[in-house]
Amino acid sequence: MRLPRNPRRAYDADGNEIPPVTVGQSLAEGYRTVMAYCEAHNCGHGAEVPLKGWPADLPVPDMALSLRCSQCGSRRVKMMVNVKELYARAHDAGSSGR
């Protein structure tokens, strides 16, 4: 019997859970925020969430369990990398050799 999948986890082609990144790992990599997106119907509100103050061993996707959308009040929140930080890091890395 196959156990149900955790919707806050990624899985490989064989169905094995891929360990999620933790708050501590994200901070160690230089990230300061993540994005929270509301998945409620007709909302889609997004907000930056600081990583500082969260337990270091907490998986980033599990931060959503403690959040509520400030726009509609839904608890259907999904966590993602902050693309602004990601692009800024990529831009800085690309321009450092010029």
Q: What is the count of structural domains for the chain?
A: 1
Q: Which domain holds residue 48?
A: 19-95
Asked if the structure places residue 79 within a domain, the reply is yes
Instruction: Determine the pLDDT at residue 95.
Output: 65
Separation CA 94–CA 7 (nearest Å) = 34
> Is the pLDDT assigned to residue 13 strictly greater than 60?
yes
Global confidence as pTM:
0.82
Asked if the structure places residue 13 within a domain, the reply is no
For the stretch 45-89, pLDDT in tens is 999 999 999 999 999 999 999 999 999 999 999 999 999 998 988
Q: Helix or strand or coil: residue 48?
A: strand
Instruction: Determine the pLDDT at residue 5.
Output: 86
Asked if the structure places residue 12 within a domain, the reply is no
Asked if residues 57 and 26 have their Cβ atoms less than 8 Å apart, the reply is no
Asked if the structure places residue 67 within a domain, the reply is yes
Instruction: Determine the pLDDT at residue 6.
Output: 87
Asked if the structure places residue 32 within a domain, the reply is yes
Instruction: Determine the pLDDT at residue 91.
Output: 83
Asked if the structure places residue 51 within a domain, the reply is yes
